[in-house]
Structure 1
Amino acid sequence: MGTTMKLSGNSSGSSPSGHVDHDAVNSANLVDLVLRCVSRSEVLEEWAIGHTVITREYVSGTRGLSRWSGVSDRIVRNIVGPTGALSEFKFLWTTTRGTSSAIADERDSMELRYSSNTRTDYRSTSLKDPSPSLGQGALGPLALKEKEAEKLIKDNAVVSARISERGQNVLVKALMTLSTLTEMTSLTEPGRILKVLDPGLDIWSEVEEGNEVRTAVPPLGRRAWSLAVMCGLEDVVLSVSDIEELTGLSKRGVQALLARMTKADPVLVQKVRKGRSFEYAICWASRFRSSGDYWGICYYDDEIRKARASKDRAVQATSARRGTPAGWIAYKLSTASPKRDEYLATHSLPADADGAWRALVEAGDELELYAYLKAQEAEAGPVPSTPEVLVEEAKGSAISTSLLGQPAQESLESPKRIDPEVLAAMRARICASTYA
């Protein structure tokens, strides 16, 4: 058997036979993305989408990207740029934007790829060529050494100027760990780490109010996910100011984050006094790595993502139905439409409307109206592709009627018989007026 060949850049691994390894991940892009997100709280949602695009290149469509990244589809549409352009913070290149359509294939045609930037200035917005080859960069496919990771941070003046020495040490170890995460699999420790860092898992989810889903573990939230990535899922000891510098949050924002993490998982965060101040021991590895003392398989749960997928399927089915003529009319006449009364005022039912149809419209049930219209369509049969079919059917009907002994419909062009006395009177009037 041929071994799977890993490709650098934005491509998944492939073999000479053309097989694509969907588990392959370009770790260089993970490192690059983290360096571009340090101290930038405003890029959180785009960071989650970018992480998903790097680790799951096969995910596409607005709702697909939304589910796997844990970001709402509305935010995905707002962040992603038009076709052939960059996203808001330049992390994503839009191959295909997709369109608003009743057809599922057209709605789900959004495709993104990660736009790598491996120069020293990670905040630069210029992009000479948004091709996958940029993902190779200077990092290459190999794991980083400590000195290489330190150099990446020091070369990036924006990052090194904003975080303390302890924060830089944490970030160095995180980059070294991230550079080893080359495949999304549960068979190896690096693969399991990458799976835990999936932003769509329940532990990192942001559940919208009114759409809560019962899960085995209370969600820590997306902010906690970003901190876990910047720590490389390693056990760390950080102060409030260290976390401020890494995440870009305010002091109050960091305190709220730590309070939420402590409430959701009391084992995860331990408050440690150091002199007159406090530091926080965050046990990422002990809690979320399979080799940790407090690890549990429940952290792979994605019940929230499954619930969102079920909701998306229902939305897609409704959109597809309303995209048909029968579905559109049924929606307009149903109580589901907020402008039902306005529509009925301008499109009132005819006086001779069928009683069953009138009763359905009064009830306003969209599905019953749709079923009635579809039944009428089935009874009428398919619409002919050309008018000639209807003409031939009309001719055939006239011939069959005459064969049965019934008079065929009189042609509009045939002359009508006029009374001879009426013709004589008409001639007399014309002659009188001519010779008068």
Structure 2
Amino acid sequence: MATRSVGRSEVLIELALGWTVTTRPYISGTRGLARWALTTDKVVRGTVGQNGSTSEYGFLWTKTRGVASPTAEEREQMVIRYSSNTRTLNRSTSLKYFSPSLGQDALGALGDLALKEGEEKGSKSNAVKSARIGERAQEALVKGLETLSELDEISTMGKGQTLLMLDPGLDIWAEVQGDEHQVAVPPLGRRVWHLAVLTGLNDVTLSVSDIEGLLGLSKRGVQVLLARMEKANLLLVRKVRQGRTFLYEIRFASVLRAGGDDWDNCYDRATIRKARAAKDRVIQETSARRGTGAGYIAYLHSTANPKRSEYLEANPLPEDADGAWKALVEAGDEMALFEHLRAQEAEAGPVPSTPEALVTPFEGAAKKETVERQPAQESLEVAVADPELSAKVAELRKRIVAGSYA
């Protein structure tokens, strides 16, 4: 995934979703995918492809887009997987695309990691081959890919800490700050997350042009990115002079890895995501309630329904409606309406399994033992009983058949 994203800023959302479902394959549903990839339901639906197809940039394979329905039984969650562009790997696979030991020779031109003719490797190298990046950027990328190739689990111990910090759902990689996206520290943004992925969360020293090639940004875009990083954390970026050029020391490992200056906030970030998950749980419970008959009727008559006025105008309450129900509808409290309907359901008891209990036979009803004969039936029986008419019908059929073959 990292190799395929080199120099391609347009694939960031697909990269984040692919990263999420690869490191956490149990994630499904538009809301779950949005929360863990730190995006919105609308963005997720607009990014994934149709059922059984890949997304626009080929990072995601959609098993099902899911089905939204007010009835709980008819709902279906969205299920996507990372779409490997090699036929030797599964669509949902680990991050081990490269050998853990690339050797010193790999620190030369990045083309050494490319596919040789006739060989099968677990990575697409065309993006790397076509990326016009300098030697410093190549070395940083090769080292980053080597680090990523050794990661196979998320944990707070050992190498799993790197994957933990590279989780795109952490608030540090958020794009905006506010009540809707509560964060523990000023967010760095999705593009900085992309750079952290490509460098394997290692400390690197790069120029503006190096970052341009790695991320696929313009010079102005890189300058804005570096300014945002400096504003978020003064320890993260340091400008140094090398000869006649200026370079930037980006201290991902020193700041964000275990023991770094900002590692302790990792637990705060996890707590914040749990708070976002709690909000999602409330939404899910509300959807489940509205998926019942009582819940859906209560929603239609409540002030939570944005089209309540239009609905009540098209479906006015009857004049002889229950006074308690009228009062509840006038108040518009959804939960009060729902509890009132559930109480009525409990009082009425369960629905009978057969309609016999709902049918009351009336006295004096006599069962008809004979069925009235229809005129068409009588004429048909007469026609069959008349031999002369039967012979004429048979002759007519012969002529029709003979004419059709002719």
TM range (shorter): 0.7 to 0.9
- Is the 2:71–2:292 Cα contact (8 Å) retained in structure 1? no
What is the deviation of 1:365? 1.2
> Among 35, 46, 61, which residue is 2:29 paired with?
61
- Is the 1:213–1:303 Cα contact (8 Å) retained in structure 2? no
Distance 1:56 1:38, change over 3 A: same
Q: CA offsets per residue over residues 230-274 of structure 1, 9 Å max, x none?
A: 111111111111111110112222122111111111110112234
Structure 2 equivalent of residue 288 of structure 1 = 256
> Among 366, 371, 382, which residue is 2:334 paired with?
366
Amino acid corresponding to residue 215 of structure 2 in structure 1: T
> Among 290, 307, 314, which residue is 1:339 paired with?
307
Structure 2 equivalent of residue 240 of structure 1 = 208
Are 2:138 and 1:177 aligned? no
Q: CA offsets per residue over residues 9-50 of structure 1, 9 Å max, x none?
A: xxxxxxxxxxxxxxxxxxxxxxxx111001111100110111
Q: CA offsets per residue over residues 45-79 of structure 1, 9 Å max, x none?
A: 11011111221122222222222222222212221
Are 2:145 and 1:168 aligned? no
Classify the secondary structure of the residue corresponding to 1:112: strand
Distance 1:220 1:208, change over 3 A: closer
- Cα distance in 2 for partners of 1:168, 1:140 equals 15
Q: CA offsets per residue over residues 280-304 of structure 1, 9 Å max, x none?
A: 1111111122254x35322342234
What is the deviation of 1:360? 1.0
Structure 2 equivalent of residue 428 of structure 1 = none
Give aligned-pair identity as a percent: 56
Are 2:145 and 1:145 aligned? no
- Cα distance in 1 for partners of 2:96, 2:280 equals 40
- Is the 1:202–1:299 Cα contact (8 Å) retained in structure 2? no
Segments of structure 1 that go 5 or more residues without pairing to the other structure are 1-32, 119-128, 396-408, 415-436
- Cα distance in 1 for partners of 2:341, 2:82 equals 46
Amino acid corresponding to residue 265 of structure 2 in structure 1: C
- Is the 1:84–1:96 Cα contact (8 Å) retained in structure 2? yes
- Is the 1:63–1:108 Cα contact (8 Å) retained in structure 2? no
Amino acid corresponding to residue 183 of structure 1 in structure 2: E
Amino acid corresponding to residue 143 of structure 2 in structure 1: K
Are 2:263 and 1:269 aligned? no
Distance 1:107 1:146, change over 3 A: farther
Structure 2 equivalent of residue 87 of structure 1 = 55
The TM-score, its normalising length taken from structure 2, stands at 0.79
Q: CA offsets per residue over residues 108-151 of structure 1, 9 Å max, x none?
A: 63322222225xxxxxxxxxx59618969995665433445731
Distance 1:242 1:104, change over 3 A: farther
| Number of equivalenced pairs | 354
- Cα distance in 1 for partners of 2:227, 2:329 equals 54
- Cα distance in 2 for partners of 1:147, 1:211 equals 48
Q: CA offsets per residue over residues 298-321 of structure 1, 9 Å max, x none?
A: 234223422321121111111111
Structure 2 equivalent of residue 390 of structure 1 = 358
- Is the 1:144–1:175 Cα contact (8 Å) retained in structure 2? no
Q: CA offsets per residue over residues 350-371 of structure 1, 9 Å max, x none?
A: 1111111111111111111111
- Cα distance in 2 for partners of 1:61, 1:341 equals 32
* Mean Cα deviation higher: 200-209 or 255-264: 200-209
Segments of structure 2 that go 5 or more residues without pairing to the other structure are 117-124, 368-406
The TM-score, its normalising length taken from structure 1, stands at 0.74
- Cα distance in 2 for partners of 1:291, 1:248 equals 31
Structure 1 equivalent of residue 291 of structure 2 = 323
- Is the 1:100–1:107 Cα contact (8 Å) retained in structure 2? yes
- Cα distance in 2 for partners of 1:157, 1:387 equals 67
- Is the 1:144–1:179 Cα contact (8 Å) retained in structure 2? no
Amino acid corresponding to residue 279 of structure 1 in structure 2: L
Structure 1 equivalent of residue 279 of structure 2 = 311
Measured on the aligned residues, the alpha-carbon RMSD in Å equals: 2.8
Distance 1:279 1:107, change over 3 A: farther
Distance 1:208 1:291, change over 3 A: closer
Q: CA offsets per residue over residues 359-404 of structure 1, 9 Å max, x none?
A: 111111111111111111111111212211223xx35xxxxxxxxx
- Cα distance in 2 for partners of 1:289, 1:76 equals 29
- Is the 1:145–1:176 Cα contact (8 Å) retained in structure 2? no
